[in-house]
Amino acid sequence: MVFLQQTINGIALGSVYALIALGYTMVYGIVQLINFAHGDIYMVGAYAAFFAAGALKLPFLPVLLIAMATSAILGLTIEKLAYRPIRTAPKVTNLITAIGVSLLIENLVRIFIGPNPRSFPELIKVQIINIGSLQINNLQIVVFSVSVILMLILQFIVHKTKVGKAMRAVSQDKDAAKLMGINIDRTISYTFAIGSSLAAVAGVLVGIVYQRIDPLMGVMSGLKAFIAAVLGGIGIIPGAMAGGFLMGIAETLTKGYISTQLSDAIAFAILIIILLVKPSGLMGKKTSEKV
């Protein structure tokens, strides 16, 4: 029963990682950029929800929409000001810029909002559901349901809409897509906006479940979500979800059976193992590159 309980907890935690990982995998799939500032966009979304719920006294759904809009605007701003000017630069330049943007956001939040953790308002009242000796609360169900629904919506957008077709065209060949009349800059902006809004949803859900947010909350969560994206196959949407669930379950099982102090180490060990055994990820395919 302990195993089942930890698995349920892991699925709830993995749902959060999955939502953040979706942003990583979307951006990388189109512009081949690992946006290390993505975890901080998730943090900003949590703070936007905190102020919307605390100062404006809004219920869950309006708070969620405000957080998504705030993070989407931040993602668009970062893409336009920081990433677009260096899009053709060497990859190491993009990587250093992403790390710099991440540190900038974290320290701006620490300066203007404060470095101390904040208690997140109770937007949804906790209700415990007992199934034998198992305990599931309604927040876990909400987190899992929202994650799955958003993944399905994202799949629909990518595969069934005009914007999604443009995204897939840009990810395969930017020059050919441009010749076909696709606005590359606009398509990439859409990608950042969608990925950032998904990160905001994760921030709101974490605030509701753990009732605590802080300026550095996006650092470790962002890294683990990146590992989840690599684990599932970066650039693959279902892979990001699967990787997130596996990361969450691995973390809770480690805490339950081994040690809470080793949970982060296990996460990075998973990254090393997957890079050694299957670098393309569980759902990724091997690609050959001409040189």
* Model pLDDT for residues 15-68, shown as the tens digit of each residue: 999 999 998 888 888 888 889 899 999 999 999 999 999 888 899 999 999 999
In a domain, 217, yes or no: yes
* Counted domains in the chain: 1
In a domain, 282, yes or no: no
Give mean pLDDT, residues 129-144: 87
> What is the dihedral angle through the alpha carbons of 66, 69, 70, 76, rounded to the nearest 10 degrees?
180
In a domain, 138, yes or no: yes
Range of the domain at 182: 2-277
> What is the dihedral angle through the alpha carbons of 92, 169, 81, 94, rounded to the nearest 10 degrees?
0
pLDDT (tens digit per residue) in 212-227: 999 999 999 999 999 9
In a domain, 285, yes or no: no
Give mean pLDDT, residues 225-245: 89
Q: What rounded mean pLDDT belongs to the chain?
A: 90
Separation of alpha carbons 58 and 65, rounded Å: 11
pLDDT (tens digit per residue) in 153-191: 998 998 899 999 999 999 888 889 998 899 999 999 999
> What size, in residues, is the chain?
291
Dihedral class, residue 278 (left if φ above 0, else alpha if ψ from -120 to 50, else beta): beta
Q: Please report the sign of the dihedral spanned by the C-alpha atoms of residue 235, residue 239, residue 241, residue 243.
A: negative
Whichever domain contains 222, its CATH number is 1.10.3470
Separation of alpha carbons 156 and 159, rounded Å: 5
Q: Please report the sign of the dihedral spanned by the C-alpha atoms of residue 182, residue 188, residue 189, residue 192.
A: positive
pLDDT (tens digit per residue) in 55-109: 888 999 999 999 999 999 999 999 999 999 998 888 889 989 999 999 999 999 9
In a domain, 283, yes or no: no
